[in-house]
Every structure is written in structure tokens, then in C-alpha cells.
Structure 1
Amino acid sequence: LWVLLDWPRTVWETIKGNITWERMPNTKDGAKADFMRMFMTNLPEACILRASFKEPT
């Protein structure tokens, strides 16, 4: 699966609480950075420019 996002819209939808991100800790020894993830299929329609799981409009 792949998705091309409208990143400014994705940030705005996150601020509005419409996208839930999961914080994932880095499990490697000595690592200090964590990362965030979410499921592409849960993205609001307004954030998706193109995706392999949707028909182009």
C-alpha cells in the first residue's frame, strides 16, 4: 500500500483531533528517538491526494 498525502492538511487534521497517531518507542539500545505511526486507511479523505487503495477521482 502507498499514499501521497497533502501534508499541510494532514497537520491541520491532526491539530483538529481527526487523526490519531501512535507513539512507538525505538527499541534499539541507546536510541533516543521515538517515531509516530497511524494507519493509512484511517486518514481523512481530505488528506489523500492519491493512494493505491482508492480509485482516482
Structure 2
Amino acid sequence: MAITASILSYLSGSTIVGILLGRWLDGYLGTSPLFLIIGLLLGLASGVYGMILLVKKFLGDD
């Protein structure tokens, strides 16, 4: 149960942060969907990377 909650927090947390930063940059620079999409993709990528590291650590695989 703990690993499931950790995976969920990695994926959702990083995605939400990426979206919020992208929206903020879009509002600051006046580019409507550009940084929102970039933030979404970077948030998803960092969440997946963190999830892979967490699962490797939990399972003990190198």
C-alpha cells in the first residue's frame, strides 16, 4: 500500500507542479498553451523517472 501511495504522489505531484509552473510562465510571458504543454510533459517525465527510481529501490534491483 505504501509503494502505491508513493507512486501516486510522484506521478500526480510532479504533473501538477509542472502544469502550475507552465500556466504561470504562460501568464507572465503571454504565450498561451506553450509552457503549459511543456510543463505537463516535463512533469510527467520527472514523475515517471522518480517512480522508476522508487520501484528499483523498493525491489532492490540495480
Q: TM-score, normalised by structure 1?
A: 0.29
Q: TM-score, normalised by structure 2?
A: 0.28
Give the strand-richer structure, 1 or 2: 1
